[in-house]
A and B are shown apart, each in its own frame.
Chain A
Amino acid sequence: MLHEITLTVNGDPYVVAVRSHHTLLQVLREQLGITSPKRGCENGECGACTVIMDGLPVSSCMVLAAEADGANIETAEGLAEEGDLHPLQQAFLDHNAIQCGFCTPGMLMSSKALLDRTPHPSEDEIRHALVGNLCRCTGYVRIVDAVQDVAKES
């Protein structure tokens, strides 16, 4: 079955025809060319597909595109504004919080959602918020440092 949905992604209004069984992740990547959310497990465990949907971080592999009709989606492509990196992106760079980079977009979106909700989280709160974002490279050290840094500055 085909559904016509409207989807605002990083401020841009899209109208897309989506199939019932396609996930938001599939539609973002394959129909809209927004490739920063990644396929990692497609089971809601790894968080590589995390996007912010109507203000909340979700695993886009666990959302049917049809369910996202009318939603406002934020991905890593939309974090920088007019060439200026978002403070989180800059902090990730400054702290060397990136290695292979595959988990990075999901980490950024989960971190942004956390700071939007809790501007000054404790280390515990940061680590809890990132439980659903697996990283095999960094050991999470610099990622937590980067989020704490931005929380302190704001």
Chain B
Amino acid sequence: MQPFDYYRPDGYKQAFGLLSDPDKTAVAIAGGTDVIPLTRDRHLQPDLVVDIKGLPGMRDLGLNSIEPCCGPGTGECLYVGAAVTMNELARSDVVQGSWPILADAAAAMGNEQIRNRATIGGNIGTASPAADSAPALYVLEACVLVKGLSGDRSIPIDRFFIGPRRHALKRGEIIAGLLVPRLPAGAIGHHEKLSRRKAGDLSIVSVAVLALPSDGHVDWRVALGAVAPTPVRAPQAEAALAKGHDAEHIDLAAAAAYGCSRPIADIRSGVEYRQAMIVNLVRRSVQSVVNRLPQA
């Protein structure tokens, strides 16, 4: 790699200062699993690399009472510090117990060695439309907590991603963590990732489905990754499922899921296959959830 300077700031203020230096290209590093390859390939040419994973709260993972930004306070939700690794997320008892879809999504990323370094903050911070954690975070309606020179703010996850590799952070801002709302009892989810190989590969299509049964009906949330410029919810699919989840409605939902995505051809897949996989994966994922819904 070409030379750069490495700093480990001892507080957020120093971090902001380093990251917003007008004369230097500064990049934040946590897990390094994007920064290092990109720097090695010369896509990034930083003057300095700012190690933020040791900042206060960055590695916290657990229940929290901070009022989430995307809805009225519902009691304890999950706080995930931005520097929590994908394996920590995948293996956490708390996450597996109450937000298993997020644990599954984290476990589907990369390989064991990468998951021990890659962080959730880095995963959304790179803002790839194929970000492994994104579909799960979308159906969980998480929000992103951001710290910056002008103060703290929170961004709902579906407004955090604004385009391929583009996010809503301003210069000098750092992702501090994510808040994931508590799910109502009886929520059932399914995460599925299709890639060229069984593991260790980027997505062709990824799907997250969440069913929230309440008062005799079911609210559905469906999100897709790698099929549009950003991860997306699938409102037409959700609308179809709101009317019912028998085979006919599942088929309609699967077919409709395609409608809100704009799949492209890339090195991993052509357009036609990607379109077909959206339909098939949504169908399979919804069916998997339906099979686990308590019978009326």
Contact = CB atoms under 8 A, between A and B. Distances in A.
A141 interface: no
Interface string B169-207: 000000000000000000000000000001110000000
B267 interface: no
Interface string B3-41: 111101000000000000000000001001100110110
Interface residues of A, number: 31
A66 B4 CA distance: 12
Nearest to B51: A67
Contacts of A43: 37, 40
A131 B112 contact: yes
Nearest to A129: B112
23 contacts: A1-B6, A20-B6, A20-B49, A21-B2, A21-B3, A21-B4, A23-B1, A23-B36, A43-B40, A44-B36, A44-B113, A47-B111, A50-B113, A57-B113, A61-B36, A62-B33, A62-B114, A67-B6, A110-B113, A128-B112, A131-B111, A132-B111, A132-B114
B36 A20 contact: no
Given A20-B5, A44-B33, A64-B6, A128 B199 contact: yes
B128 interface: no
Contacts of A58: 113, 116-117
Interface string A17-54: 00111110000000000000000001111010010000
A62 B117 contact: yes
Nearest to A56: B116
A118 to B, nearest CB: 11
A90 to B, nearest CB: 23
A56 B87 contact: yes
B116 A57 contact: yes
A22 B36 CA distance: 10
Interface in B130-147: none
Q: Which of B8, B49, B113 has the most CB of A within 10 A?
A: B113
Interface of B: 1-6, 8, 29, 32-33, 36-37, 39-40, 49, 51, 87, 110-114, 116-117, 198-200
A106 B9 CA distance: 32
Nearest to A134: B200
B6 A3 contact: yes
A59 interface: yes
A63 interface: yes
A56 B112 CA distance: 9
A90 B23 CA distance: 56
Nearest to A109: B113
Contacts of B111: 47, 131-132
Given A21-B2, A43-B40, A62-B32, A131 B117 contact: no
Interface in A61-84: 61-64, 66-67
A47 B116 CA distance: 13
Contact of A21 (B1, B87, B116): B1
Contacts of B200: 45, 131-132
Contacts of B33: 44, 62
B29 to A, nearest CB: 8
The 6 closest A-B pairs by CB, nearest first: A132-B111, A20-B6, A1-B5, A56-B116, A59-B113, A131-B111
Contact of A62 (B4, B36, B51, B87): B36
Contact of B112 (A23, A45, A63, A132): A132
A130 to B, nearest CB: 8
Contacts of A21: 1-4, 6, 39
A10 B5 CA distance: 28
A56 B117 CA distance: 9
Contacts of A50: 113
A19 B49 CA distance: 12
A20 B29 CA distance: 13
Contacts of A1: 5-6
B46 to A, nearest CB: 9
